[in-house]
Structures are given as structure tokens and as C-alpha cells.
Chain A
Amino acid sequence: MNINHLEDKALWLRQECWNMVMRQRKGHIPSSYSCVEIIVALYYGGVARLTRGRPDAPDRDRIIVSKGHAAAVQYPVLADLEYFDKRELERYTQPGGLLGMYADYKIPGIEGISGSLGHGVGMGSGFAFAAKQNNEDYRTFVVLGDGECYEGSVWESAMFAAHHNLDNLVAIVDRNDLCILGRTRELLDLGDLEGKWQSFGWKAITVNGHSFEELLDALSLIGTTSGKPLAIIANTVKGKGISFMEGRPEWHNRMPDEEQMKVALGELGLKTMVET
């Protein structure tokens, strides 16, 4: 896999998300940016098996962004896969548009609704269980937040997936260490997440969530886990790519002013506020 190509895709996705969100000034840039490399690795890193233009292909891998406030990061990718018209990106959150601030299951390529935290691993377990039962080869990838791991339902589902040997299920924890009010380590420490997933019966590994080499190495473990589901704890930076947002909880859903906009555009390599 050409890493430079993936780096280019990551920049492209940040640009696309920026344009989409800033046109309407609605959305969650920092939460989306912490998982950009995860999303790019899945969709463009030769990991997920998908068919261009066929969001309902029965053998497709299922990808769920369970941290629904960041699920809009998938929209430019899904449009790029020709699952829907690219012009929908311009109608994001607009009446009559397909794309909402949170991902709805009616959007081609969105496997299940998100927005409320703690559902993705359970939903993904359902997909994975059905695949096993039907002797189908598709895999299910769930991207969730570290803050989302506060939800008890995550651990109910983690226990279930391990018991049923759902090695066709991958949970990628976007560990950006922030929730709305501040740092998870200071507010309510999530502790050793790798150890927690491991103790629930998963194969767990921690990586740099902005390194394609590390992400792809970890994702290559699918199928080698002796029947265990795979948890990848991806250490990330919330707001990655925009200097004044990086690691700053107050930017969760704040919108930049004119000066900040200029800085951000410069860092993203965009010339104007909205490039179409």
C-alpha cells in the first residue's frame, strides 16, 4: 500500500469535511478529524471489501462509525464510492438533503443509525453473528470513541462478541482522550483500555491512530486472532490537523471565527473558505 497516497487521501478527507461542515457551520470537526486516518485506512487502505456504486452489495464489509457525531466523516468517502451524488455534500443538513449532522441508516453506505453512543459494538455483533450463521465472509468494523467506552452497553456487547468468537468483528477505539468537558484521564479515567478489551476476551492492540503503517499492521491481524474479535486502541489527537483545535475540548462543536478560519484554511491547504 502506497502510504503517500493514503496521506493525500487523509488531507482530501479533512478538506472535504471542512467544506461540508463550514458551508452550514454545523457539525463536529475535531471528533471527525481524530478518526480521519482510521477511516482512510479502512476505506482506501485495501482493508474493507466494498464495491463502487453498490452500497447494498451483500458481500460488502460493514463499517459503523458508532461515535455518531463524527459519522459525517464518512460522507465524502461514501460519495467518492459513488453510493450517492456528490452534490449531496453541498446539501448537508439542508432541508431535502440526504445527509444529516448525524448519520441516518437511510444514507447509502451507512449501515445503522448513530448519534447516541454505545450502540455500535452491539449492532456490529449482530452483523457479525448473522454473517457466521449464514456462512458469509463479510467483516464488520466499528469505530467508537474512548468517551463512548463509558457506556456500559459497550462492555455488555464486548462480552457477547468474545463469547461467540466473532473474529469477523473489529472495534477500533478512537482514543482522542477528550470528551466534551475535558480530558477523560482527569474527568473519569478509562484506565488501561487495551487491557480492558483483552480481559473481555478480545485480541487487543494499541497503535498510533494517525500512522497508516501502524493502523494497517493492526488491521492485518483480522483472521489471525484464534477466534477472538479484534480491538484496536488507536491513540489519536482530537482536532488533528487544525493546530488551534488539537487536544482542545472546547472545540467539540464550536465554529471558527474569521481569523481562525484563515489559519485553518492555510493548514488544510485550502485557498478559499469553501472550495467546490
Chain B
Amino acid sequence: MDTKVNNTSKPKLMRDAVIDTIYNAAKEDKNIIFISADLGATALDKFRKCLPGQFIHAGISEQNMVDLASGLALSGKKVFLYAMAPFITARCYEQIKSVLASMNLPVTLIAVGVGLGYDHATMTHFTTEDVACMRALNGIEVLSPSDENSAIAITRAAINKPAFRYIRLERQPQRHLYRCDFTSEVEQGFVHLVEGVDVVIVGCGYLVHKALLAKASLEKLKVSAGVIDLFRIKQINAAGLTNIISSYPAVVTIEEQILDGGFGSAVLETLCDQNVTKPLKRVGIGDGFDVVNGDRDQLHELYGIDTPHIVEAALSIMGT
């Protein structure tokens, strides 16, 4: 697939890329409303200054933010909600379920710092369950871009086709993976980023970059690994994904989530529902994990989800 780029330009923060995309649309569409629960961004400063009538500060009041959004959406507004990942999900989960999901309202929830993105902030700021809890919601679409261009394309799609969505953004800039025009990939819901033979590693967001590192390590061991960026975690393109995975003898899924009900579970469920059985190893955070100081990669090592563990999982599932 012709999506990879050799782009060495400094990637933008995903949040800035996403907010700039919404800003450009909001200039033309007065019904676009952007609400923050006190999370900022450089791009948001411009939005607030230039489009004050379309920006709302909800207060550090995520529950009000969601209820408010429901009234706005029922009044014909296209609403984007924005906050740190843990607070726009679990903190106001009942509101999301009771008013947004129940009425299937066209509100997009934008989370920043998913998984272990707020590494040093530790437990309260981790979202090691957001994939499980958000994908359990009725009618939602869950998207997790892995770089700036995929984040922009996903945002454009959200603007063009308002729906009940949850978009998971990385807190730190991510190396470019895709060319600018990612439109057809958004439709597809995943990208077969690297083709391989022996095993395929499936991840999303930051973990796609880890998959690429693992693929390089496996190459040194004469193992040919493929990599799939499964950025649409709910409303998975089941037929398309299964078709690709079927060509591999083994599968490894990777995530920064508690394994129960998370990303790997979503992949397994999809394969199962498509009547495809494959040796599959889920790499993720086990129950009972502890919190320590450390950066994201150090935490990955501690929780057994770093590159060597991904390699080990691949080798074990291949029976090597």
C-alpha cells in the first residue's frame, strides 16, 4: 500500500493538527462547536481567539460537558468535546452512555494522552481501560490514529459525517507514517503497513511505532513480520481485516490496555465472528499492574509490552 512516507519534517502534536482541521471547518460552518474541559493546545489558542462564539470552556466539569453537548447536538450543532483521555471517558462515562449513546447523537469525543501517554502522572492519568469501556458503547465509532496525517484525515471524516465518535490522540508527536491523503484508508479502517510472511503484528496509535521496531528486530532473527495499523477499533472492517490476517500463520496484538476487553479482544472477537482461527498472542497489561515512576518506554518494559516482549510473543506464537 502506497501510504508510507519518507517525511523527516518535524511532526506536529496530534491535538494541534486535529484542532487546526476543526478550526478550518468551523470558520465555514457556524454550527461547529468545540468544547474543552480545561485542556489546552497551541491551536486551541487560535480557535478561541478567532472563533470565540464557537468555543466553550465547560469548566473542569466533564459531566456537564457531555450533557451540554447533548442539548447542543439536539439543537443541530456539530459538537467536538476535548479533554485528557481519562477524564473524557471514565469520568463522564454514565453521561456518555445515557445521553450520547442512548440518543446516538453526532458528538465527537477527542481524548488526549491515551494509554500510558501521561506516563509520569501515573494511575489517575492512565487510560488502560478506555478501549474496553468505549467500544462497549452502543453505536460508537472508536478511532486511534498513529500519526499526524492519519489524525487529520480521521478528523476530516468526522467533520464531514457527524456521528457518535471517540477519537484517541497520542499526547506526544509521533513520527510520520502516512502521506497527506489518507482518505481511502480512513474508509478502510486499517492499513496493512508492512507486508510479511511469518507473523503479523496488529496495533494502533503509539503501538504501531512499536510494532515497526519489533518487525525490525524480528528481521534480524530471519523472521518476516507484517504490521497492521488497526486505527478503527470499533466498527472494525471485519471482512477486510480478516482477509489480510488470514494470509499469516500467526498473529500478535499489542496494546497499552488491561487485556480484558481491550484491543486484542476486539481483534480476537472479529476473527472469531468471521470463523477464522489463528494462533494469536495478546501483548498488553496484565491484571494487578503497579504504578512506578518512569517514562512511557520504561513502563512498557515493566509491564511486559516493550519491543523485546513483542518479539518474544511473536516467536512463541510461531512456535520458534
Contact = CB atoms under 8 A, between A and B. Distances in A.
Nearest to A131: B75
B73 to A, nearest CB: 7
Given A112-B103, A119-B98, A119-B99, A124 B61 contact: no
Interface in A127-161: 127-131, 133-134, 140, 152-153, 156-157, 159-160
B70 interface: yes
Interface of A is mostly: helix
B61 to A, nearest CB: 4
A111 B105 CA distance: 13
A208 to B, nearest CB: 29
Contacts of A115: 98
Given A112-B70, A122-B68, A127-B71, A159 B103 contact: no
Contact of B59 (A121, A133, A156): A156
Interface in B274-291: none
B109 to A, nearest CB: 15
Given A112-B103, A113-B98, A153-B95, A126 B67 contact: yes
A125 B72 CA distance: 8
User: A interface, how many residues as a size bin?
Assistant: 20 to 34
Given A116-B94, A131-B75, A153-B64, A160 B58 contact: yes
Contacts of B63: 118, 122, 152-153, 156
A130 B98 contact: no
Interface string B102-139: 11000000000000000000000000000000000000
B98 A112 contact: no
Contacts of A134: 75
Interface in A154-177: 156-157, 159-160
A98 interface: no
A244 interface: no
Contacts of B98: 113, 115-116, 119
Contact of A125 (B68, B76, B94, B102): B68
Interface string A2-46: 000000000000000000000000000000000000000000000
A105 B103 CA distance: 7
Nearest to B73: A126
Given A153-B64, A157-B67, A130 B75 contact: yes
Contacts of B71: 112, 122-130, 140
B53 interface: yes
B77 A130 contact: yes
Contacts of A119: 67, 70, 95, 98-99
Interface in B48-106: 53, 56, 58-59, 61, 63-64, 66-77, 94-95, 98-99, 102-103
17 contacts: A105-B74, A105-B102, A112-B70, A113-B103, A119-B95, A125-B67, A125-B68, A126-B68, A126-B72, A126-B75, A128-B71, A130-B77, A152-B63, A153-B61, A159-B61, A160-B58, A160-B64
Given A113-B99, A122-B95, A129-B72, 7 more contacts: A113-B103, A118-B63, A118-B67, A123-B68, A123-B70, A126-B69, A130-B71
Interface of B: 53, 56, 58-59, 61, 63-64, 66-77, 94-95, 98-99, 102-103
